[in-house]
Every structure is written in structure tokens, then in C-alpha cells.
Amino acid sequence: MDHRDHVGLIRAGVVGAGPRWLELGAGEGAFTLALADLLGAGGEIVAVDRNASALRRVTAELPRRFPTTRLDAVVADFRDELPTGPFDGMLAANSLHFVTDPASVLRRAAEFVRPGGRVVVVEYDADRGNPWVPHPISAHRFPAIAADAGLQNVQEIGRVPSRFLGAIYSAVAERP
């Protein structure tokens, strides 16, 4: 996947939501850059990851490519502590499959999303994991997890084939 694929996967969930976003598990920032591209001038991203060296890479790269986006990188475990909102949206790309209870992470994070704000998830469309993707969340299972997290209006918004676990999809849900 390249930057165009990343942008294409999340575009429908991000456009029109508002400028301030929380990202869980930003890593080296593939989707952080896509988010910055879509938010445009005035975008603000608070990117959380427990891997400080991965966050250092996106902290160096993002201002070069999207100088009008404000990035705040926070080293933390998103199961324990989260930056407080309000946010217009929250993105979790390829990060929820590391937790055994994704609904509880989404529920806590969604508390910091404004009413009517968006929650965008990118995941492998599989229910059986492996050592690299231990707990994938299939597109079929995501609506129940979102409902358990108190979210509504789930829609699949993108999909790309993947040689690894078949496909990657994206979905958006709304904070009531």
C-alpha cells in the first residue's frame, strides 16, 4: 500500500468531520500522513503509540510533508491512558488487533470524541489471528464491537486486497 491507498481507505470517514483527531497506534505514521493530507491546513492530530522510536519518525516526517498540520505525539499505552479531547474523530489503523478487548479501548477513546464525531478503524478482514496480527477484527464482527463501545451508524468505507490475511478494510462509526 502507498500513501494514495492510505488516503483512499480513510477519506470517507475523515472528510467533513472537523480538524482535531486522535490516533491510536500511529506507529511510523502511514495513516497519520494520510490523515494530515485529508485534514488540510489547520488539522490537529494527537498521535498515541507506546513505541517512542516509531513516533519519532512521524514527528520528523509529518512537518516536512504537511507543515500546516499540528502533530502532538504521545508515548503511552492506549489501554491505560488517553489524551483528553474533545476530538472531532478518532482513528485506529492496524492497532486494535493487538488488544484482546477492542470494545473497551474504543469505548474509552470515544468518550473523548465529540457527540456526532467519527471513529475510523482500519483492520484485516479476518477472524483468526497469527503471531503478527494476534486478534484481527473482521468486517463482519466490527459492527457488534462498535455497538458494544456505544457507537452507531457503522459503514464500511474502503477495502484493499492483501496477500497477508486476504483483505484490509476500513469502517467508520459515529459517536451518538
Ligand X SMILES: C[S@@+](CC[C@H](N)C(=O)[O-])C[C@H]1O[C@@H](n2cnc3c(N)ncnc32)[C@H](O)[C@@H]1O
Cβ-contact 32, 57 below 8 angstroms: no
Q: Which of 30, 34, 126, 168 binds ligand X (CB under 6 A)?
A: 30
Q: Which of 59, 94, 104, 162 binds ligand X (CB under 6 A)?
A: 94
Q: Which stretch binds ligand X (CB under 6 A): 11-19, 27-35, 110-118, 139-147?
A: 27-35
Q: At 134, list the grid cell.
A: 494476534
| Residue 37 binds ligand X, judged by CB under 6 A | no
Q: Which stretch binds ligand X (CB under 6 A): 44-52, 135-143, 146-154, 158-166?
A: 44-52
Spatial CB neighbours of 138, under 8 Å, sequence gap ≥ 6: 123, 125, 126, 127
- List the strands of the sheet with 152-162, edge to edge: 70-75, 44-49, 20-24, 87-93, 113-124, 166-174, 152-162
Q: Which of 137, 124, 134 is nearest to 168 (CA)?
A: 124
Nearest CB to ligand X, comparing residues 115 and 161: 161
Q: Give the number of residues in contact with ligand X, rule: CB under 6 A.
A: 17
Q: Which residues are at the interface with ligand X (CB under 6 A)?
A: 25-27, 30-31, 48-51, 54, 77-79, 93-95, 98
